[in-house]
Structure formats: structure tokens, C-alpha cells
Homo-oligomer: A and B are copies of this chain.
């Protein structure tokens, strides 16, 4: 898929130029310098020859149909050029030119035109407004970046071209990192991260997929593809723009908790994507994945010639939730026999400051061979006796023999430079500080855990969707969007969720009759489609013990509601069973513009309001994910039962989460929803949805 972008048999450079400082020249030169083996066709109406190649006036004038056209001409001419390509039958086009969506309304219209043309001619398109494409294995570089990066196992796509140039520039400074493919995505008018992941999953030259993204076109499809791709190879992403989140208006409580940041975090986790917090982390993680085997367990051994960095590394490992391997007695014995007395034969293994390469070599052999060790970090500080190069070679050779990942941590810069180079030649990434090596291992652990997640098994409960559809129809017919208690109860019932016995009373007499039937004590709540926040208008009375109480409460509630909200349509009062106190849980949902329904879970009351202690999933999700949500909140101990209390009924919470997941998936017109509270009792005693508010989309 997309092969014609990365290994085209021939390429047309539309806008190729003889002027050295024109992008159309730089791209052609890069293509030639990169050693591209196919045919290159410079296109320019001026004709002539550029860099020894004959120039054609147009794509249609070419003697063959090129697989790829790279367009680098002023934006007004781009549509015509696409048409030219289309008529020739060119399957893939990279538009370098800027002046499209990023340049305002007019540019946006131009981009729409380009998309239309591309669709019409069945052209796949990268860009516009991008840096171009590199494949180091073809090899081919059709970017205007300064040089071609070294070959390597990393596929990198960037929504920011400039960030791409910085990364390529970095890769040019030494052979510490290499790329298989590089794509600057530009405006993503057609080809997006989703297409590239899909294309690169089967690329044998790419071991790890990296991306810098600012936004995604289709969240649900992204998740679907990422879930499949991340089973095959690590997908590591930096997502920027995280803090400028959700400024959109929200009317529900859940809405204010869930921003686009939460949606991305949930979506990445659910689809096995590793999130890097910074660009440095992105490449630190990439180096580990690209050049070393995966980490099969969490037990790390450290070999060091200095105590301090060993402790820093231990701290960082523990902080990241990894553990220090406990070496076998036999390993320790052999280390003790070989190393000087003052050395530490336990993990971290300290070969001492005067260690030459032989001690490292010996320690590496025995520690890497220890069955209790899953991965190694080898720290080398440049001390007086340190044999930097021989030690680097010892590490590199062991890494090539071992099935376990080995990360280097040569510290310093001046004396260790060649050492780092030697490590790189042996495929051992070097981290200048031990904390960064530890974090890289943590990323490997995270990836293993993400990959171990079973495929989601979405359950479907037997529910009454027709009933809900009918309620929504009525709501829409009445021109409302908000749904309060009375109708919410019907919806919950239709999705077979337990709710307190409750009925609508239009008059005080009816209320008393209902209370007699339900049994005292009861709760009375105002029933009005126009009053969502009932307590604010004094619309709720609890603990009513007698018929007189009920009669008084009814009159008072209705009187107050009429006074506070004079225009409200008042249906009467709900007479409700007074359920026993349990633990209050919040289940909510808001609709994320990228990923769709985002379900929130947390303990109710102050845990949500003051502590914002909640967690999120993109719906639909399965039982495993729902169960995981329960463990993710900080206050999860309350679910397990503290101070001698029994654990809560987790199955009942999970059941409620899954039914809400189904509801908001079944009805994409639900914009927001809050069950607050879901009253949960101890294990075996279930849960009861006391109240739900729901908002439908206006259209």
C-alpha cells in the first residue's frame, strides 16, 4: 500500500529548477544525491537540462507514466498540475507547495479543489505544504531537507515539517540513529497518519513507527488501525497541543472533566499506542525499540564503574516501576571470584572506577547470562583508567550475542565520543544519563503490556433501543435537547439498569397514593422538562415518612418551582423509593470531536468535584477495560473496601459502565450524559442509578 510513494519506478519533479536556491532544485538534487535508482523527470515549461537530466514541459509530455510526481510550483498552478498528473495516470503525488488550508479561506478553497481533482483521478496525495518524502532503502529523498539521513529501522512521520528537518539534522550528526522512511504530512489533505501506519505495518525495513501529531482526522478509524498495527510493531507518538484543550461550552459535569487531552490519552491506551511526553522521550524510546530486542520482563541489571550513577539509575528504575534483578547466587559467586574485593557483585554490579574492558566483558557475560535478568543498562564514566573503546566493543559484542536488550550509558562527551560511535555500530543505543536509559526500558515494558492486552470483545446486552429511540423522537419533536429525571428513568429501564421504584404524580393526592404503594420513606422530586438542576430550585425533598409529609412536600415543591422558573412546564412530582445509602459513583459521557463517546468513571461527590479523580475510555469498550477503569482512579481503595468495609459490588459497576458504553454507541446523538450518583452497595448487592441527566445534539 502506498508503495508508489516510497519505491516508485520513476519520479517526476514538477517545478524542477536550475537555480541553486529554489526548492525545485534542492529536491531534484536530493533525489540524485540519495542514489535514487529509478528514472527522474524534471518538469519545467522552460525545458533544457537540469543537473544533467533532460527537462520535460509537462507530465503529460513524459515518455512513460511516473509512479510519483512531486509538485513544487507556486500554489495557483498546483490544481492544473494535478490535472496534468491525473490525465497521465500518475497514482501518487506529493505536493510540497504551500498556500492552502494553512493560508486562510482562499487557500482552504484551493485545497478543496485539489482534493476533488485527486479523487477524480484516483490520485493519492501527500501534503500540500510539506517537506516531502524519504525512503532510505529504495533509496529516494524527495524533500528539501539538507541531506539524507542514515539508513535505519525507524519510520517517522511528522505533521510539522520543520520538526522533521530538526530531527533529520540531528541524525546527520553521527550514525547514532537511522530512518527507514520519513514523511512530512503537511496539511494531510489526503494521506494521513492512519494510512501511513497501515502501509508501514508490513514494511520489513521499519521496526518502529514514530509520529509527531497535532490532531487526527478520524479518531475511531485511527484507533482501529493503531490497534492492529501496534500488535506488530511499536507505535510511539508525541501529541502536541495537549493543554489548550476543550474550550467548547459544556453543560454537564462530566463535560468539564473531559478534554481532548483525556480523549487522546484514552484512545492511545486503548489502541496500544505508546505516548511520549516530549520529543526527547520519543527518540529515546525509538532507539531502544529500533536497535534492541524487546524487554521480556521487568528485572533490570546495572553494570557500572561508578556508584553514584548506579544509584541514580536504580532510583529511576524504581520510579518507573521496574525492578532491580536479583542475581543468581552462582552469578554473584563468579563475579566475586573475578572482580576485586571492593567491587559489588550484587546488582548494581560495580566493577569500580579503575575497571578496564576485561572487567566489563566478564560482568556482561555473566549478568547477561543470568536467568533472573531481563535487560541490562551498562554505565561507563570516563575515569583515568577507563578503556572507552575496548569497553564499548565489549558491550556491543555482548549485545549482538544476547537475546536480551542492552542499553548503553556512556556519560560525558569529549572522551566518550568514539565509544558512543562503536556502540551505535553494534546497535547499542547510548543514553547520556542513566535516567533516560531507565525510561527507555519503561517504554519497552509499557509496550509489552499494551501488546499483551487481548483484542477488545465488545458485549451486546439485550436492550430496548426502540423505546429509547421513541423518547428521543419525542424530545426532538418538542424542540428540547436536555433530558431530565422522568425520561432518563425510562432510558435506564430500557437498558435494563436498576433504578429506584418511582412514579409520576400529577397531584398531591396521586403522590400520596403512590407513596402508600411504594412504601415509606419516599423522596419527592420536581418533574419538569425545563428544570435540570432540581436541588437549585428546592425541587427535592427526602425522607418523607407520612402521607402528610408527602402532601406538604408536593405543594411546596411545585409552588417553589413555579416561583423560581415561571415559564417551566411542570408535570408534577416523581415519588421515589428512598434507597439506602451506599457509595456514590459517577458515570458520565461526553462526545469528543475526534474520538466520539468518551466515558468517565469516578467516585461521586467530592472525589469528582474536589479531587477530579476520574478516568476515561472511548466507547465502545469491553469488560477488561471497564474493570481496568475501576483500578485506575486514585481512590480505588474505596472500591476494594477500607477500614474493615466490604468491597463494593464491582460487577455491578462494570455492568453499568458497559451498558452506558452501549447506549452512547447505539445513539450517536447523545452528546452528554451523567449518572450521578450510581449508588453502589457491597459485593453481591448491586447498584442503583438514582439520577441521570442527558443532552442530545441539537440537530
Which residue of the partner chain B has the closest CB to A98? B342
Q: Identify which of B159, B311, B635 contacts A241 (C-beta below 8 A).
A: B311
With known contacts A308-B212, A606-B638, A611-B637, A166–B412 Cβ distance under 8 A: yes
With known contacts A315-B241, A342-B103, A637-B611, A159–B308 Cβ distance under 8 A: yes
Q: Which chain A residues (365-390) contact chain B, with CB distance < 8 Å?
A: 381-384
**Does A415 interact with chain B (Cβ within 8 Å)?**
yes
Which residue of the partner chain B has the closest CB to A353? B162
Q: How far is the CA of A253 from the CA of B308 in the complex (A)?
A: 32
Stretch at the interface among A133-141, A220-228, A428-436, A451-459: A428-436
Max chain B C-beta neighbours (<10 A), residue from A98, A315, A432? A315
Contacting pair A243 B279 (CB below 8 A)? no
With known contacts A305-B162, A381-B166, A606–B637 Cβ distance under 8 A: yes
Chain B residues positioned under 8 Å from A102 (CB to CB) = 342
Name the distance in Å between A558's Cβ and chain B's nearest Cβ: 24
Contact with B along A139-164 (1 / 0, CB 8 A): 00000111100000000001111110
With known contacts A342-B103, A610-B637, A637-B609, A309–B166 Cβ distance under 8 A: yes
Max chain B C-beta neighbours (<10 A), residue from A314, A342, A384? A384
Contacting pair B606 A634 (CB below 8 A)? no
Contacting pair A279 B435 (CB below 8 A)? yes
Q: Identify which of B158, B162, B242, B611 contacts A383 (C-beta below 8 A).
A: B162
Contacting pair B609 A635 (CB below 8 A)? no
Contacting pair A414 B241 (CB below 8 A)? no
**Does A35 interact with chain B (Cβ within 8 Å)?**
no
**Does A90 interact with chain B (Cβ within 8 Å)?**
no
Contacting pair A240 B413 (CB below 8 A)? no
**Does A244 interact with chain B (Cβ within 8 Å)?**
yes
**Does A524 interact with chain B (Cβ within 8 Å)?**
no
Contact with B along A169-185 (1 / 0, CB 8 A): 11011100000000000
Contacting pair A413 B382 (CB below 8 A)? no
Max chain B C-beta neighbours (<10 A), residue from A98, A308, A381? A308
Which residue of the partner chain B has the closest CB to A240? B311
Contacting pair A384 B144 (CB below 8 A)? yes
With known contacts A314-B244, A643-B606, A306–B637 Cβ distance under 8 A: no
**Does A278 interact with chain B (Cβ within 8 Å)?**
yes
**Does A648 interact with chain B (Cβ within 8 Å)?**
no
Q: Identify which of B146, B312, B318, B435 contacts A382 (C-beta below 8 A).
A: B146
Contacting pair A169 B413 (CB below 8 A)? yes
Contacting pair A415 B169 (CB below 8 A)? yes
**Does A599 interact with chain B (Cβ within 8 Å)?**
no
Q: Which chain A residues (466-511) contact chain B, with CB distance < 8 Å?
A: none
Chain B residues positioned under 8 Å from A145 (CB to CB) = 384
**Does A165 interact with chain B (Cβ within 8 Å)?**
yes
**Does A605 interact with chain B (Cβ within 8 Å)?**
yes
Q: How far is the CA of A432 from the CA of B170 in the complex (A)?
A: 10
Chain B residues positioned under 8 Å from A147 (CB to CB) = 414
Contact with B along A401-435 (1 / 0, CB 8 A): 00000000001111111000000000000001111
With known contacts A172-B413, A318-B243, A165–B312 Cβ distance under 8 A: no
Contacting pair B353 A161 (CB below 8 A)? yes
Contact with B along A630-648 (1 / 0, CB 8 A): 0000110110001100000
Contacting pair B637 A307 (CB below 8 A)? no
With known contacts A243-B315, A353-B161, A384-B23, A642–B169 Cβ distance under 8 A: no
Q: How far is the CA of A111 from the CA of B528 in the complex (A)?
A: 84
15 contacts between A and B (CB under 8 A): A26-B384, A144-B384, A159-B308, A160-B309, A162-B305, A162-B308, A169-B412, A170-B413, A173-B417, A241-B315, A243-B315, A244-B314, A277-B435, A606-B642, A610-B642
